[in-house]
Structure 1
Amino acid sequence: MLQFETKVDVNKLKGKDFLTLLDFSSDEVFYLLELASKMKKEQKEGIISNVLQGKSLGMIFENASTRTRVSFEVGMTQLGGHALFLSPRDLQIGRGEPISDTARALSRYVDAIMIRTNSHEKVEELANYSTVPVINALTDYYHPCQGLADLLTIYEHKGTFEGIKVVYVGDGNNVAHSLIIGAAKVGMDISVASPSGYEVDPDIVQKAQEVAALTGSNITITNDPIEAVTDADIIYTDVWASMGYEAEQKDREAAFAPYQVNRELVSYAKDDYIFLHCLPAHRGEEVTADIIDSPHSVVFDEAENRLHVQKAVLATLIK
């Protein structure tokens, strides 16, 4: 079980929104990781928690999901609460109701709202009008729950963040953004290699650099995948065409071909590197089967950890 020296007033986190890891201090990130690790250990030991007994989570999904939906629903159940799945077909949002009205109405029914949508502005508006915590389960700019799961997985397999180099190879998307911020929060070095025109958002990198200046993290942005992967402890990639970019698939295949995580590329990493992927994965595109299905791959540990970090977030934020 993870244990960190943190000083966190948990009461101040009650009722807080979880929109991006930038909104949480390094100590608060460490606290959530420690709580997630504790909850994971207790779940494996069959210890039942009712910390959210009688509480309800409204889950708004505007695009498809496997891991997010299942992990949040199961997480609420394991904590004694209840989750409600809400698709656009179930909500008046799909018929033009303002997000502000949806936020104010749902706040009268549930104890927290989780949303998965392509627009980060929509999540911010929802949080602005909601009187209960809003949790970002994925937007076009951020994926903070995935970022926490990545950090937990890295620590479980490496035992530290100090001196660890994580490398992200591929599209500069929401997963990359949250990984950069998460690495900066815990003082871990990170390199990101993307093709020209597909780099991470410079404003987000600047915000992460400000955090890194306090924690000692080194952030490197490059177009050279070999430079990035050299001496890597962690290699991470994601699909080349995220949801919303499917029409660009062919163009992206051409641009990203040199960034495929394959046997040649990983030869530049440390011998004991681990491989991460947020899933779903396209074997033969962003990663070859012999890498994602190798002993170096811990992608299903990573997927499981979504459950535990989200339980930690829910238990911490819901009053």
Structure 2
Amino acid sequence: MRHLVSIKDLSDQEFKILVDRAEYFKKMFKNGNIEEFQQQHLKLLGRTVALIFTKRSTRTRISTEGAAAFFGGQPMFLGKDDIQLGVNESFYDTTKVVSSMVSCIFARVNQHQDILNLCKDSSVPIINSLCDKYHPLQAICDLLTIKEKLNYNQNKLKLAWIGDANNVINDMSIACLKVGIDVAIATPIGIEMDNEIVDEAKKIAIKNNCKFTLTHDSKEASKDAHILVTDTFVSMGEEFAKAAKLRQFKGFQINSELCSVADPNYVFMHCLPRHHEEVTDEVFYSDHSIVFDEAENRLYAAMAAIDIFVNNKGNFDNLV
């Protein structure tokens, strides 16, 4: 049994298949062919998909429930106030009980160790829907969006990340390098990328003839970039440090000045929710912005994850 914990756990080809599978389901979903819908709907008919969420969510919850329903499964949302997890029952006991009754578990949690514990004790696939170290579903949807808009199979691209060293860029940087996209990451002084991610990124960059750059200069990272990306500067649970974080991130807002050094046909991405300190309205709502296409693609990323890790039991071959 295979779980989806992070993009670095996948081979380059496996990750590309996940993105292609998301693209396949998007086309099917948009075409609205009833016979195709019925065929897919039988895959999890009569089964349950558990959503264990200890953090609030918009896109992850909607996309996961939608994907489960697409395959005929019944999504069951289990928020932190809905079950005994970590209150009156051990993590182990809860995992054993929940996994015995469902086809898979989507887990949106705080600590990466929680994902590892779920994987160790679960009898069904675990899909990491966000933890403090990784966010693989976001990476699948982001690369689908880039493929649609800029076609990384035919064009050599550069992605510039301007912001925090967080779970989103941990998976996104690895994902980009796996498909041949150069990556430049600019973080404020005092904020560094996770060493494990950096080591893995460097290996993939060498193997795939890509550039992987770390800097504290947002303009340097943005120079000639085809894709500009940022995320929240203050993550959930860090609200107490907001004032200090905003001082640290001064000069890291994506604005017209920063965009002026990027490729003229750049696109702007953000996984949402967005705050004004991260990007100006001028950029966020411009013709360069593809944030809402990106958000929609979370649905098809969840479909791809369910289809490969649950319906096809983690086998990336012989997909139907």
TM range (shorter): over 0.9
Identify if the C-alpha distance between structure 1 residues 206 and 96 changes in structure 2 by more than 3 Å, giving closer, same or farther: farther
Aligned pairs for 1:260-275 within 5 A? 260-275=253-268
SS in 1 for 2:249: helix
Q: How does 1:98-117 map to 2 (within 5 A)?
A: 98-117=90-109
Query: TM-score, normalising length from structure 2?
Result: 0.93
- Aligned residue number for residue 115 of structure 2: 123
Return the alpha-carbon distance in structure 1 between the equivalents of residues 50 and 309 of structure 2. 14
Report how far residue 199 of structure 1 moved: 2.2
Equivalents in 1 of 2:272, 2:124: separation in Å? 30
Q: Which amino acid aligns with 1:167?
A: A
Q: Which residue of 2 aligns with 1:33?
A: 19
Distance 1:210 1:56 in 2: 39
Is 1:43–2:29 an aligned residue pair?
yes
Alignment equivalent of 1:230, drawn from 209, 212, 223? 223
Does 2:196 correspond to 1:198? Answer: no
Encode CA deviations 1:190-227: one digit per residue, 9 max, x unaligned. 00000012222122111222222222222111000111
Matched, 1:18 2:4: yes
What does 1:180-259 correspond to in 2, within 5 Å? 180-259=173-252
Q: Residues of 2 paired with 1:42 and 1:263: CA distance?
A: 37
For 2:97 and 2:139, the matched residues in 1 are separated by 30
| Distance in structure 2 (CA, Å) of the matches to 1:156 and 1:32 | 14
Q: Distance in 2 between matches of 1:55 and 1:233?
A: 43
What's 2:285 paired with? 293
> How far is 1:56 from its partner?
1.7
Of residues 176, 198, 211, the one that matches 2:169 is 176
Would you say the 8 A contact 1:144–1:178 is kept in 2?
yes
The count of residues paired between Structure 1 and Structure 2 equals 304
1:82 match: 74
2:135 paired with 1:149: no
Gaps of 5+ in 1: 1-14
- Deviation string 1:226-260 (CA, Å, 9 cap, x unpaired) is 11000000000001101121111101111112110
Contact kept, 8 Å, 2:152 with 2:179, in 1: the verdict is: no
Shift of 1:96: 4.2
CA deviation after TM superposition for structure 1 residue 125, in Å: 0.6
Deviates more, 1:182-191 or 1:208-217: 208-217
- Give the whole-Å Cα distance in 2 for the aligned partners of 1:102 and 1:195: 40
Q: Is the 8 A contact 2:109 2:131 kept in 1?
A: yes
Alignment partner of 1:304 is 2:304 = no
Letter in 2 for 1:210: K
**2:57 aligned with 1:65:** yes
Asked whether the equivalents of residues 152 and 181 of structure 2 are also in contact (C-alpha less than 8 Å), the reply is no
Q: For residue 251 of structure 2, give the secondary structure of its aligned residue in structure 1.
A: helix
Task: Determine the C-alpha separation between the residues in 1 that align with 2:290 and 2:74.
Answer: 30
Where 1:137 maps in the other structure, the secondary structure is strand
Aligned to 2:275: 282
User: Following the alignment from structure 1 to structure 2, what is the Cα–Cα distance between the partners of residues 253 and 107?
Assistant: 41
Q: Which residue of 2 aligns with 1:4?
A: none
Amino acid at match of 1:214: K
Extract structure 1 runs of 4+ deviating beyond 4 A.
Answer: none
> In 2, distance between residues paired with 1:54 and 1:231?
51
When the two chains are superposed, the root-mean-square deviation of aligned CA atoms in Å is 1.1
Distance 2:210 2:284 in 1: 27
